[in-house]
Chain A
Amino acid sequence: MTDIAVLGAGMHPWGKWSRNFVEYGIDAAQTALADAGLEWRDIQFVAGADTMRQGYPGYVSAATFSQALGWSGAPVASCYAACASGATALATARAQILAGFCDVALVVGADTSPKGFFAPNDGDRPDDPDWLRFRLLGATNPTYFALYARRRMDLYGATERDFAKVKVKNAQHGLNNQNARYRKAVTEDEVLASPIVASPLHLLDICATSDGGAAVVVSSMDYARARGLTSPVRVRGVSTVTPRFPNTVIEMPDFATDSSAALAPPPLTFRDSIAAAAYEQAGIGPDDMSVAEVYDLSSALELDWYENIGLCKAGEAERLINDGDTALGGKGTTVNPSGGLACFGEAVPAQAIAQVCEITWQLRGRATGRQVEGATAGVTVNQGLFGHGSSVVLST
Protein backbone atom coordinates (compact mmCIF):
# COMPACT_ATOMS: atom_id res chain seq x y z
CA MET A 1 0.00 0.00 0.00
CA THR A 2 1.65 3.22 -1.11
CA ASP A 3 -1.25 5.65 -0.58
CA ILE A 4 -0.93 8.70 1.62
CA ALA A 5 -3.73 11.01 2.76
CA VAL A 6 -4.19 14.69 1.94
CA LEU A 7 -5.33 16.23 5.24
CA GLY A 8 -5.24 19.87 4.22
CA ALA A 9 -4.76 22.15 1.24
CA GLY A 10 -4.21 25.89 1.12
CA MET A 11 -3.19 28.69 -1.21
CA HIS A 12 -2.28 32.31 -1.04
CA PRO A 13 -4.18 33.90 -3.95
CA TRP A 14 -2.15 34.35 -7.15
CA GLY A 15 -1.49 37.90 -8.30
CA LYS A 16 1.20 40.51 -8.68
CA TRP A 17 1.61 41.53 -5.07
CA SER A 18 5.38 42.10 -5.14
CA ARG A 19 5.81 41.05 -1.53
CA ASN A 20 8.35 38.64 -0.04
CA PHE A 21 7.69 35.09 -1.22
CA VAL A 22 7.91 33.80 2.36
CA GLU A 23 4.71 35.64 3.20
CA TYR A 24 2.77 33.73 0.51
CA GLY A 25 4.24 30.42 1.62
CA ILE A 26 3.40 30.95 5.26
CA ASP A 27 -0.11 32.08 4.41
CA ALA A 28 -0.67 28.96 2.29
CA ALA A 29 0.85 26.71 4.98
CA GLN A 30 -1.34 28.15 7.72
CA THR A 31 -4.42 27.76 5.52
CA ALA A 32 -3.51 24.13 4.82
CA LEU A 33 -2.84 23.46 8.53
CA ALA A 34 -6.20 24.97 9.49
CA ASP A 35 -7.88 22.89 6.77
CA ALA A 36 -6.25 19.79 8.29
CA GLY A 37 -7.20 20.80 11.83
CA LEU A 38 -3.54 20.63 12.85
CA GLU A 39 -1.08 22.96 14.55
CA TRP A 40 2.36 23.81 13.14
CA ARG A 41 3.96 21.89 16.04
CA ASP A 42 2.19 18.72 14.86
CA ILE A 43 4.19 18.72 11.60
CA GLN A 44 7.04 16.18 11.67
CA PHE A 45 8.68 16.92 8.31
CA VAL A 46 8.74 19.90 5.97
CA ALA A 47 9.37 19.69 2.23
CA GLY A 48 9.89 22.99 0.43
CA ALA A 49 9.75 23.72 -3.29
CA ASP A 50 12.64 26.06 -4.04
CA THR A 51 12.78 29.21 -6.10
CA MET A 52 15.96 30.49 -7.74
CA ARG A 53 14.72 34.07 -7.95
CA GLN A 54 14.86 34.98 -4.26
CA GLY A 55 18.49 34.45 -3.33
CA TYR A 56 19.61 32.04 -0.62
CA PRO A 57 16.26 31.88 1.23
CA GLY A 58 14.75 30.54 -2.00
CA TYR A 59 17.37 27.76 -2.30
CA VAL A 60 16.67 26.53 1.25
CA SER A 61 12.92 27.09 1.11
CA ALA A 62 11.93 24.38 3.60
CA ALA A 63 14.22 25.90 6.23
CA THR A 64 13.09 29.41 5.30
CA PHE A 65 9.44 28.51 5.81
CA SER A 66 10.21 26.53 8.99
CA GLN A 67 12.10 29.42 10.54
CA ALA A 68 9.27 31.82 9.63
CA LEU A 69 6.70 29.50 11.21
CA GLY A 70 9.00 29.14 14.26
CA TRP A 71 11.78 26.55 14.47
CA SER A 72 10.21 23.32 15.69
CA GLY A 73 13.13 20.99 15.16
CA ALA A 74 11.35 19.11 12.35
CA PRO A 75 13.70 17.84 9.62
CA VAL A 76 13.44 19.53 6.23
CA ALA A 77 14.20 18.93 2.56
CA SER A 78 14.39 21.76 0.03
CA CYS A 79 13.75 20.63 -3.53
CA TYR A 80 14.52 22.26 -6.84
CA ALA A 81 13.14 20.87 -10.09
CA ALA A 82 12.09 24.10 -11.86
CA CYS A 83 8.34 24.01 -12.56
CA ALA A 84 8.23 20.49 -11.13
CA SER A 85 9.72 21.50 -7.75
CA GLY A 86 6.38 21.12 -5.97
CA ALA A 87 5.97 17.54 -7.13
CA THR A 88 9.53 16.69 -6.09
CA ALA A 89 8.77 18.14 -2.65
CA LEU A 90 5.58 16.08 -2.42
CA ALA A 91 7.44 12.96 -3.55
CA THR A 92 10.03 13.55 -0.83
CA ALA A 93 7.38 13.96 1.88
CA ARG A 94 5.58 10.88 0.62
CA ALA A 95 8.76 8.79 0.75
CA GLN A 96 9.41 9.92 4.35
CA ILE A 97 5.87 8.91 5.31
CA LEU A 98 5.90 5.57 3.48
CA ALA A 99 9.31 4.73 4.95
CA GLY A 100 7.84 5.29 8.40
CA PHE A 101 10.21 8.14 9.25
CA CYS A 102 7.30 10.50 9.91
CA ASP A 103 3.51 10.41 10.07
CA VAL A 104 2.55 13.86 8.87
CA ALA A 105 4.35 16.39 6.67
CA LEU A 106 3.91 19.88 5.26
CA VAL A 107 4.70 20.58 1.60
CA VAL A 108 4.93 24.23 0.60
CA GLY A 109 6.12 26.38 -2.29
CA ALA A 110 5.85 30.09 -3.08
CA ASP A 111 7.36 32.69 -5.37
CA THR A 112 7.43 36.33 -6.34
CA SER A 113 7.92 36.65 -10.11
CA PRO A 114 9.28 39.43 -12.28
CA LYS A 115 7.08 40.91 -14.98
CA GLY A 116 7.52 39.71 -18.54
CA PHE A 117 9.74 36.94 -19.89
CA PHE A 118 11.50 34.69 -17.43
CA ALA A 119 15.23 35.22 -18.00
CA PRO A 120 18.46 33.75 -16.62
CA ASN A 121 20.11 35.35 -13.60
CA ASP A 122 22.73 38.02 -14.38
CA GLY A 123 26.31 37.23 -15.40
CA ASP A 124 27.96 35.49 -18.38
CA ARG A 125 27.64 31.69 -18.11
CA PRO A 126 28.62 30.16 -21.47
CA ASP A 127 28.48 26.65 -19.93
CA ASP A 128 24.80 27.03 -18.96
CA PRO A 129 22.33 25.95 -21.66
CA ASP A 130 19.75 28.31 -20.17
CA TRP A 131 22.11 31.26 -20.71
CA LEU A 132 23.20 30.07 -24.14
CA ARG A 133 19.70 29.72 -25.56
CA PHE A 134 18.98 33.38 -24.80
CA ARG A 135 22.36 34.65 -26.00
CA LEU A 136 22.86 32.56 -29.15
CA LEU A 137 19.27 32.05 -30.30
CA GLY A 138 17.15 34.64 -28.49
CA ALA A 139 15.00 31.66 -27.50
CA THR A 140 12.59 32.60 -24.68
CA ASN A 141 10.16 30.18 -23.06
CA PRO A 142 7.38 31.14 -25.52
CA THR A 143 9.77 30.22 -28.38
CA TYR A 144 9.53 26.60 -27.28
CA PHE A 145 5.76 26.75 -26.63
CA ALA A 146 5.37 28.13 -30.15
CA LEU A 147 7.48 25.38 -31.74
CA TYR A 148 5.10 22.79 -30.28
CA ALA A 149 2.04 24.83 -31.31
CA ARG A 150 3.20 25.34 -34.89
CA ARG A 151 3.93 21.64 -35.22
CA ARG A 152 0.31 20.85 -34.24
CA MET A 153 -0.85 23.19 -37.00
CA ASP A 154 1.32 21.74 -39.75
CA LEU A 155 0.89 18.10 -38.67
CA TYR A 156 -2.72 17.95 -37.46
CA GLY A 157 -4.33 20.98 -39.08
CA ALA A 158 -4.81 22.79 -35.76
CA THR A 159 -5.74 26.46 -36.05
CA GLU A 160 -5.06 29.53 -33.97
CA ARG A 161 -8.78 29.50 -33.20
CA ASP A 162 -8.49 25.99 -31.72
CA PHE A 163 -5.82 27.32 -29.38
CA ALA A 164 -7.96 30.35 -28.51
CA LYS A 165 -10.78 27.98 -27.49
CA VAL A 166 -8.56 26.56 -24.76
CA LYS A 167 -8.02 30.05 -23.34
CA VAL A 168 -11.75 30.79 -23.52
CA LYS A 169 -12.56 27.55 -21.67
CA ASN A 170 -10.00 28.12 -18.93
CA ALA A 171 -11.02 31.76 -18.47
CA GLN A 172 -14.60 30.56 -18.03
CA HIS A 173 -13.51 27.91 -15.50
CA GLY A 174 -11.56 30.39 -13.39
CA LEU A 175 -14.26 33.05 -13.16
CA ASN A 176 -15.30 32.06 -9.64
CA ASN A 177 -11.97 30.79 -8.32
CA GLN A 178 -10.99 33.12 -5.48
CA ASN A 179 -7.35 32.04 -5.74
CA ALA A 180 -7.06 32.85 -9.46
CA ARG A 181 -5.35 36.06 -10.58
CA TYR A 182 -7.41 36.61 -13.74
CA ARG A 183 -11.18 36.24 -13.31
CA LYS A 184 -12.52 37.65 -16.55
CA ALA A 185 -14.24 35.98 -19.48
CA VAL A 186 -12.33 36.12 -22.76
CA THR A 187 -13.62 35.59 -26.31
CA GLU A 188 -11.86 33.78 -29.15
CA ASP A 189 -11.71 37.03 -31.10
CA GLU A 190 -10.04 38.80 -28.16
CA VAL A 191 -7.36 36.11 -28.07
CA LEU A 192 -6.81 36.35 -31.81
CA ALA A 193 -6.72 40.16 -31.69
CA SER A 194 -4.03 40.20 -29.00
CA PRO A 195 -0.48 40.77 -30.29
CA ILE A 196 1.56 37.80 -31.54
CA VAL A 197 4.42 37.01 -29.15
CA ALA A 198 5.86 33.98 -30.93
CA SER A 199 3.99 32.91 -34.05
CA PRO A 200 1.38 31.34 -33.90
CA LEU A 201 0.88 32.22 -30.22
CA HIS A 202 -0.79 35.45 -29.18
CA LEU A 203 -0.27 37.25 -25.89
CA LEU A 204 -3.50 35.78 -24.49
CA ASP A 205 -2.38 32.25 -25.45
CA ILE A 206 0.63 32.48 -23.14
CA CYS A 207 0.53 32.35 -19.36
CA ALA A 208 1.73 35.27 -17.28
CA THR A 209 4.30 35.17 -14.48
CA SER A 210 2.69 35.55 -11.06
CA ASP A 211 3.17 35.66 -7.31
CA GLY A 212 1.52 32.93 -5.29
CA GLY A 213 1.89 30.21 -2.71
CA ALA A 214 0.44 26.73 -2.18
CA ALA A 215 0.70 24.08 0.52
CA VAL A 216 -0.63 20.65 1.40
CA VAL A 217 -0.52 18.67 4.63
CA VAL A 218 -0.10 14.96 3.94
CA SER A 219 0.00 11.97 6.28
CA SER A 220 0.08 8.22 6.49
CA MET A 221 -3.31 6.51 6.07
CA ASP A 222 -3.02 5.27 9.67
CA TYR A 223 -2.50 8.81 10.95
CA ALA A 224 -5.56 9.97 9.01
CA ARG A 225 -7.67 7.11 10.38
CA ALA A 226 -6.51 7.85 13.94
CA ARG A 227 -7.85 11.36 13.44
CA GLY A 228 -11.21 9.95 12.46
CA LEU A 229 -10.90 10.44 8.72
CA THR A 230 -12.40 7.31 7.16
CA SER A 231 -12.15 8.33 3.51
CA PRO A 232 -9.67 11.17 3.00
CA VAL A 233 -8.50 12.17 -0.47
CA ARG A 234 -5.55 9.92 -1.23
CA VAL A 235 -2.36 10.49 -3.20
CA ARG A 236 -2.16 7.28 -5.21
CA GLY A 237 0.87 7.93 -7.40
CA VAL A 238 3.61 10.52 -7.74
CA SER A 239 5.81 10.63 -10.83
CA THR A 240 9.06 12.58 -10.94
CA VAL A 241 10.50 10.76 -13.95
CA THR A 242 13.32 12.07 -16.13
CA PRO A 243 13.68 11.52 -19.89
CA ARG A 244 15.07 8.30 -21.32
CA PHE A 245 18.00 8.53 -23.72
CA PRO A 246 17.76 9.40 -26.52
CA ASN A 247 15.22 12.16 -25.98
CA THR A 248 14.63 13.32 -29.54
CA VAL A 249 12.00 15.98 -28.77
CA ILE A 250 13.46 19.45 -28.29
CA GLU A 251 13.00 20.59 -24.68
CA MET A 252 13.68 23.82 -22.83
CA PRO A 253 16.41 24.99 -22.27
CA ASP A 254 18.31 22.82 -24.76
CA PHE A 255 18.80 23.86 -28.36
CA ALA A 256 19.68 20.39 -29.63
CA THR A 257 18.16 16.99 -28.85
CA ASP A 258 19.92 13.74 -28.14
CA SER A 259 20.97 11.71 -31.17
CA SER A 260 19.26 8.46 -32.06
CA ALA A 261 22.13 7.46 -34.37
CA ALA A 262 23.30 4.64 -32.08
CA LEU A 263 20.29 3.88 -29.87
CA ALA A 264 16.64 3.98 -30.95
CA PRO A 265 14.28 6.37 -29.09
CA PRO A 266 12.25 4.81 -26.23
CA PRO A 267 8.68 3.65 -26.95
CA LEU A 268 7.18 6.57 -24.99
CA THR A 269 8.30 10.15 -25.45
CA PHE A 270 9.35 11.91 -22.26
CA ARG A 271 6.06 13.77 -21.97
CA ASP A 272 4.06 10.60 -22.61
CA SER A 273 6.03 8.86 -19.85
CA ILE A 274 5.27 11.40 -17.10
CA ALA A 275 1.63 10.62 -16.22
CA ALA A 276 2.08 7.00 -17.31
CA ALA A 277 4.40 6.43 -14.34
CA ALA A 278 1.88 7.94 -11.89
CA TYR A 279 -0.98 5.88 -13.36
CA GLU A 280 1.10 2.74 -13.00
CA GLN A 281 1.73 3.39 -9.29
CA ALA A 282 -1.94 4.23 -8.74
CA GLY A 283 -3.30 1.21 -10.58
CA ILE A 284 -5.83 3.43 -12.34
CA GLY A 285 -5.60 5.08 -15.73
CA PRO A 286 -6.82 7.90 -17.94
CA ASP A 287 -10.31 6.40 -18.36
CA ASP A 288 -10.79 6.66 -14.59
CA MET A 289 -9.94 10.36 -14.38
CA SER A 290 -12.85 12.72 -13.68
CA VAL A 291 -10.59 15.74 -13.69
CA ALA A 292 -7.09 16.81 -14.75
CA GLU A 293 -4.95 19.82 -13.97
CA VAL A 294 -2.39 20.19 -16.78
CA TYR A 295 0.37 22.72 -17.27
CA ASP A 296 -1.05 25.14 -19.83
CA LEU A 297 2.01 27.36 -20.22
CA SER A 298 0.34 28.06 -23.54
CA SER A 299 -3.16 27.29 -24.76
CA ALA A 300 -1.73 25.01 -27.44
CA LEU A 301 0.37 23.12 -24.92
CA GLU A 302 -2.81 22.10 -23.08
CA LEU A 303 -3.78 20.20 -26.24
CA ASP A 304 -0.44 18.38 -26.24
CA TRP A 305 -1.08 17.34 -22.64
CA TYR A 306 -4.49 15.79 -23.55
CA GLU A 307 -2.54 13.34 -25.67
CA ASN A 308 0.41 12.97 -23.28
CA ILE A 309 -1.85 11.97 -20.35
CA GLY A 310 -3.90 9.57 -22.43
CA LEU A 311 -7.18 11.45 -22.85
CA CYS A 312 -6.97 10.89 -26.62
CA LYS A 313 -4.58 9.78 -29.36
CA ALA A 314 -2.04 12.07 -31.01
CA GLY A 315 -3.76 14.51 -33.32
CA GLU A 316 -7.20 14.20 -31.65
CA ALA A 317 -6.93 16.96 -29.03
CA GLU A 318 -8.47 19.61 -31.29
CA ARG A 319 -11.60 17.50 -31.52
CA LEU A 320 -11.85 17.34 -27.71
CA ILE A 321 -11.66 21.11 -27.30
CA ASN A 322 -14.06 21.75 -30.20
CA ASP A 323 -16.60 19.25 -28.85
CA GLY A 324 -16.41 20.75 -25.37
CA ASP A 325 -15.35 17.40 -23.88
CA THR A 326 -12.78 18.93 -21.53
CA ALA A 327 -14.97 21.85 -20.36
CA LEU A 328 -16.97 21.73 -17.12
CA GLY A 329 -20.10 19.73 -17.88
CA GLY A 330 -18.49 18.14 -20.95
CA LYS A 331 -18.57 14.41 -21.59
CA GLY A 332 -14.87 13.77 -21.04
CA THR A 333 -12.30 14.36 -18.32
CA THR A 334 -12.64 18.00 -17.26
CA VAL A 335 -9.32 19.75 -17.79
CA ASN A 336 -8.16 22.71 -15.68
CA PRO A 337 -11.37 23.44 -13.77
CA SER A 338 -9.24 25.81 -11.64
CA GLY A 339 -8.74 27.99 -14.70
CA GLY A 340 -5.20 26.65 -15.10
CA LEU A 341 -2.18 28.80 -15.73
CA ALA A 342 -4.38 30.84 -18.06
CA CYS A 343 -6.11 32.26 -14.97
CA PHE A 344 -3.30 31.91 -12.44
CA GLY A 345 -0.09 32.74 -14.26
CA GLU A 346 2.99 30.84 -13.23
CA ALA A 347 4.46 31.01 -9.72
CA VAL A 348 7.02 28.33 -10.45
CA PRO A 349 7.60 26.42 -7.15
CA ALA A 350 3.97 26.74 -6.05
CA GLN A 351 2.40 25.50 -9.25
CA ALA A 352 2.63 21.72 -8.96
CA ILE A 353 1.37 21.96 -5.37
CA ALA A 354 -1.50 24.21 -6.48
CA GLN A 355 -2.52 21.53 -8.98
CA VAL A 356 -2.74 19.02 -6.11
CA CYS A 357 -4.79 21.50 -4.03
CA GLU A 358 -7.31 21.88 -6.85
CA ILE A 359 -7.71 18.13 -7.38
CA THR A 360 -8.11 17.70 -3.61
CA TRP A 361 -10.93 20.26 -3.49
CA GLN A 362 -12.56 18.66 -6.54
CA LEU A 363 -12.47 15.21 -4.95
CA ARG A 364 -13.94 16.60 -1.73
CA GLY A 365 -16.77 18.16 -3.75
CA ARG A 366 -15.79 21.59 -2.44
CA ALA A 367 -14.61 23.39 -5.58
CA THR A 368 -17.30 26.04 -5.34
CA GLY A 369 -18.33 27.52 -8.67
CA ARG A 370 -16.23 25.08 -10.69
CA GLN A 371 -17.06 21.65 -9.27
CA VAL A 372 -16.73 18.61 -11.52
CA GLU A 373 -19.84 16.71 -10.47
CA GLY A 374 -19.18 13.35 -8.88
CA ALA A 375 -15.40 13.57 -9.26
CA THR A 376 -13.71 10.43 -7.93
CA ALA A 377 -10.18 10.58 -9.33
CA GLY A 378 -7.87 13.17 -10.84
CA VAL A 379 -4.42 13.64 -12.31
CA THR A 380 -1.96 16.52 -12.40
CA VAL A 381 0.82 16.87 -14.93
CA ASN A 382 3.63 19.32 -15.29
CA GLN A 383 7.18 19.51 -16.53
CA GLY A 384 10.19 21.41 -15.25
CA LEU A 385 13.00 22.44 -17.53
CA PHE A 386 16.22 20.38 -17.44
CA GLY A 387 14.24 17.11 -17.59
CA HIS A 388 11.83 17.10 -14.65
CA GLY A 389 8.56 15.23 -15.05
CA SER A 390 5.79 15.79 -12.54
CA SER A 391 2.47 14.00 -12.20
CA VAL A 392 0.25 13.15 -9.23
CA VAL A 393 -2.75 10.81 -9.29
CA LEU A 394 -5.32 11.28 -6.52
CA SER A 395 -8.62 9.59 -5.74
CA THR A 396 -11.35 9.58 -3.15
Chain B
Amino acid sequence: MAKSKTPALGAEGWFTDDGDGPTLIGNKCTACGTVFFPAAAYFCRNPDCGGREFEPTPLSRQGTVWSYTDAQYQPPPPYVATSDPYAPFAVAAVELAAEGMVVMGQLASGYGVDDVRVGSPVELVVETLFEDDDHEYTVWKWKPVSA
Protein backbone atom coordinates (compact mmCIF):
# COMPACT_ATOMS: atom_id res chain seq x y z
CA MET B 1 0.00 0.00 0.00
CA ALA B 2 1.32 3.45 -0.86
CA LYS B 3 2.34 5.60 2.04
CA SER B 4 0.28 8.71 2.59
CA LYS B 5 2.01 12.02 1.89
CA THR B 6 1.87 14.70 4.54
CA PRO B 7 3.79 17.94 5.04
CA ALA B 8 6.69 17.62 7.47
CA LEU B 9 6.04 18.79 11.04
CA GLY B 10 6.23 22.57 11.13
CA ALA B 11 5.42 23.01 7.42
CA GLU B 12 1.70 22.18 7.54
CA GLY B 13 -0.17 24.68 5.36
CA TRP B 14 3.02 26.23 4.01
CA PHE B 15 2.64 24.84 0.50
CA THR B 16 0.16 23.18 -1.84
CA ASP B 17 0.80 20.56 -4.44
CA ASP B 18 -2.43 20.32 -6.41
CA GLY B 19 -3.44 20.76 -10.04
CA ASP B 20 -1.92 24.26 -10.32
CA GLY B 21 1.52 22.96 -9.48
CA PRO B 22 3.56 23.19 -6.29
CA THR B 23 3.17 26.58 -4.62
CA LEU B 24 4.35 28.16 -1.38
CA ILE B 25 1.51 29.77 0.55
CA GLY B 26 2.32 32.89 2.53
CA ASN B 27 0.03 35.69 3.50
CA LYS B 28 -0.37 39.35 2.73
CA CYS B 29 -1.23 42.23 5.04
CA THR B 30 -4.56 43.66 3.87
CA ALA B 31 -3.47 47.15 5.02
CA CYS B 32 -0.01 47.59 3.46
CA GLY B 33 0.42 44.64 1.10
CA THR B 34 3.58 43.26 2.69
CA VAL B 35 3.98 39.55 1.99
CA PHE B 36 5.09 37.06 4.66
CA PHE B 37 6.47 33.57 4.42
CA PRO B 38 5.95 31.67 6.62
CA ALA B 39 2.59 33.40 7.06
CA ALA B 40 2.50 36.21 9.64
CA ALA B 41 0.21 35.90 12.62
CA TYR B 42 -1.45 38.60 14.73
CA PHE B 43 0.50 41.69 13.62
CA CYS B 44 2.01 43.08 10.44
CA ARG B 45 5.79 43.31 10.86
CA ASN B 46 6.06 46.50 8.78
CA PRO B 47 6.82 49.03 11.57
CA ASP B 48 4.80 51.73 9.78
CA CYS B 49 1.70 49.53 9.54
CA GLY B 50 -0.76 48.61 12.24
CA GLY B 51 -2.39 45.90 10.16
CA ARG B 52 -3.81 42.85 11.91
CA GLU B 53 -5.59 41.17 9.03
CA PHE B 54 -4.03 38.97 6.41
CA GLU B 55 -5.16 37.03 3.40
CA PRO B 56 -3.42 33.88 2.15
CA THR B 57 -1.35 34.49 -0.94
CA PRO B 58 0.52 32.12 -3.25
CA LEU B 59 4.18 33.00 -3.76
CA SER B 60 5.88 33.09 -7.15
CA ARG B 61 6.66 29.59 -8.33
CA GLN B 62 9.80 30.78 -10.14
CA GLY B 63 12.77 32.66 -8.76
CA THR B 64 16.48 33.23 -9.24
CA VAL B 65 19.29 31.88 -7.10
CA TRP B 66 20.64 34.41 -4.56
CA SER B 67 23.22 31.90 -3.36
CA TYR B 68 23.69 28.18 -2.84
CA THR B 69 25.74 25.57 -1.00
CA ASP B 70 25.58 21.96 0.10
CA ALA B 71 25.86 19.86 3.24
CA GLN B 72 28.78 17.46 2.91
CA TYR B 73 28.51 16.47 6.58
CA GLN B 74 25.28 15.09 8.04
CA PRO B 75 23.47 17.84 9.98
CA PRO B 76 22.60 17.07 13.63
CA PRO B 77 19.00 16.47 14.81
CA PRO B 78 16.31 17.65 14.40
CA TYR B 79 17.49 16.97 10.82
CA VAL B 80 16.32 13.47 9.90
CA ALA B 81 18.77 11.37 7.92
CA THR B 82 17.26 9.85 4.78
CA SER B 83 19.93 7.35 3.89
CA ASP B 84 22.70 5.27 5.43
CA PRO B 85 25.40 6.10 4.56
CA TYR B 86 24.58 9.78 4.52
CA ALA B 87 24.07 11.37 1.11
CA PRO B 88 24.90 15.09 0.76
CA PHE B 89 22.21 17.50 -0.46
CA ALA B 90 22.32 21.08 -1.71
CA VAL B 91 20.54 24.20 -0.47
CA ALA B 92 19.66 27.40 -2.34
CA ALA B 93 18.46 30.82 -1.24
CA VAL B 94 16.13 32.04 -3.97
CA GLU B 95 15.02 35.58 -4.78
CA LEU B 96 11.35 36.06 -5.63
CA ALA B 97 11.10 39.27 -7.64
CA ALA B 98 7.42 40.09 -7.14
CA GLU B 99 7.58 39.53 -3.38
CA GLY B 100 10.98 41.22 -2.93
CA MET B 101 12.15 38.41 -0.70
CA VAL B 102 14.50 35.44 -0.50
CA VAL B 103 13.26 31.96 0.44
CA MET B 104 15.66 29.10 1.20
CA GLY B 105 15.02 25.51 0.30
CA GLN B 106 16.92 22.36 -0.50
CA LEU B 107 17.72 21.87 -4.18
CA ALA B 108 15.56 19.16 -5.73
CA SER B 109 16.81 15.61 -5.41
CA GLY B 110 19.59 14.87 -7.88
CA TYR B 111 20.84 18.46 -8.18
CA GLY B 112 24.00 19.88 -6.66
CA VAL B 113 26.06 23.05 -6.46
CA ASP B 114 27.42 22.54 -9.98
CA ASP B 115 23.91 22.88 -11.43
CA VAL B 116 23.33 26.52 -10.40
CA ARG B 117 25.00 29.95 -10.24
CA VAL B 118 23.93 33.19 -8.60
CA GLY B 119 21.12 34.35 -10.89
CA SER B 120 20.13 30.88 -12.17
CA PRO B 121 16.37 30.35 -12.65
CA VAL B 122 14.71 27.75 -10.44
CA GLU B 123 11.15 26.61 -9.85
CA LEU B 124 9.34 25.21 -6.85
CA VAL B 125 8.76 21.49 -6.41
CA VAL B 126 7.41 19.41 -3.55
CA GLU B 127 9.41 16.33 -2.64
CA THR B 128 9.73 13.83 0.16
CA LEU B 129 11.99 15.07 2.96
CA PHE B 130 12.01 11.80 4.91
CA GLU B 131 9.65 8.91 5.57
CA ASP B 132 8.63 6.44 8.24
CA ASP B 133 6.60 3.21 8.03
CA ASP B 134 3.32 4.99 7.32
CA HIS B 135 4.07 8.39 5.83
CA GLU B 136 6.17 10.33 3.38
CA TYR B 137 6.84 13.72 4.93
CA THR B 138 7.01 16.37 2.24
CA VAL B 139 8.68 19.76 1.93
CA TRP B 140 9.26 22.41 -0.72
CA LYS B 141 12.48 22.39 -2.73
CA TRP B 142 13.95 24.40 -5.61
CA LYS B 143 14.58 22.74 -8.96
CA PRO B 144 16.98 24.24 -11.52
CA VAL B 145 15.35 24.98 -14.89
CA SER B 146 16.94 25.99 -18.16
CA ALA B 147 16.96 29.75 -18.71
Residue positions of A touching B, CB distance < 8 A: 116-117, 119-120, 122, 124, 126-127, 131-140, 143, 146-151, 154-155, 195-201, 245-246, 248-250, 255-263
Residues of B within 8 Å of A, CB-based: how many?
Answer: 49
Measured CA separation A260–B36 after assembly (Å): 10
Asked if B35 and A136 make an inter-chain contact with CB atoms under 8 angstroms apart, the answer reads no
Tell whether A260 pairs with B106 under 8 Å between CB atoms, given A146-B69, A147-B93, A155-B118: no
Q: Which of A199, A255, A259 contacts B104 (CB 8 A)?
A: A255
Q: Which residues of A contact B77 (CB under 8 A)?
A: 119, 122, 134
Asked if B117 and A154 make an inter-chain contact with CB atoms under 8 angstroms apart, the answer reads yes
Measured CA separation A68–B105 after assembly (Å): 46
User: From B90, which residue of chain A is reached at the shortest CB distance?
Assistant: A199
Asked if B35 and A259 make an inter-chain contact with CB atoms under 8 angstroms apart, the answer reads yes
Q: Which of B9, B99, B103 contacts A124 (CB 8 A)?
A: B9
Asked if A135 and B101 make an inter-chain contact with CB atoms under 8 angstroms apart, the answer reads no
Measured CA separation A196–B88 after assembly (Å): 11
Asked if A250 and B66 make an inter-chain contact with CB atoms under 8 angstroms apart, the answer reads yes
- The smallest beta-carbon distance between A177 and chain B, in angstroms, is 28
Q: Which residues of B contact A201 (CB under 8 A)?
A: 69
B56 CB–A CB distance under 8 Å: no
4 further A-B pairs in the complex, CB-CB below 8 A; given A154-B67, A257-B101, A259-B101: A199-B72, A248-B101, A256-B104, A263-B46
Most chain B CB within a 10 A radius of its CB, from A127, A136, A146, A257: A136
Q: Which residues of A contact B53 (CB under 8 A)?
A: none
- The smallest beta-carbon distance between B4 and chain A, in angstroms, is 19
Asked if A117 and B10 make an inter-chain contact with CB atoms under 8 angstroms apart, the answer reads no
B145 CB–A CB distance under 8 Å: no
13 A–B contacts from the bound complex (CB under 8 Å): A119-B77, A135-B10, A135-B80, A137-B106, A146-B69, A149-B69, A201-B69, A248-B101, A256-B38, A257-B102, A260-B100, A262-B32, A262-B34
Task: Classify the interface of chain A: helix, strand, loop or mixed.
Answer: loop
Asked if A140 and B66 make an inter-chain contact with CB atoms under 8 angstroms apart, the answer reads no
Measured CA separation A262–B36 after assembly (Å): 11
Tell whether A261 pairs with B100 under 8 Å between CB atoms, given A119-B76, A154-B117: yes
Asked if B76 and A117 make an inter-chain contact with CB atoms under 8 angstroms apart, the answer reads yes
Task: Classify the interface of chain B: helix, strand, loop or mixed.
Answer: loop
B71 CB–A CB distance under 8 Å: yes
Most chain B CB within a 10 A radius of its CB, from A120, A133, A148: A133
Asked if B78 and A140 make an inter-chain contact with CB atoms under 8 angstroms apart, the answer reads no
Tell whether A150 pairs with B34 under 8 Å between CB atoms, given A131-B10, A136-B139: no
Tell whether A245 pairs with B47 under 8 Å between CB atoms, given A119-B77, A150-B69: yes
Measured CA separation A248–B104 after assembly (Å): 12
B45 CB–A CB distance under 8 Å: yes
- The smallest beta-carbon distance between B127 and chain A, in angstroms, is 12
Q: Which residues of B contact A131 (CB under 8 A)?
A: 10, 78
Binary CB contact string for chain B from 59 to 97 against chain A (1 if under 8 A, 0 otherwise):
000000011111111011111100000000101010000
Which 5 pairs of residues, A with B, have the shortest CB-CB distance?
Answer: A260-B100, A126-B10, A146-B69, A154-B118, A119-B76
Q: Which residues of B contact A124 (CB under 8 A)?
A: 9, 78
Asked if A262 and B75 make an inter-chain contact with CB atoms under 8 angstroms apart, the answer reads no
User: From A114, which residue of chain B is reached at the shortest CB distance?
Assistant: B76
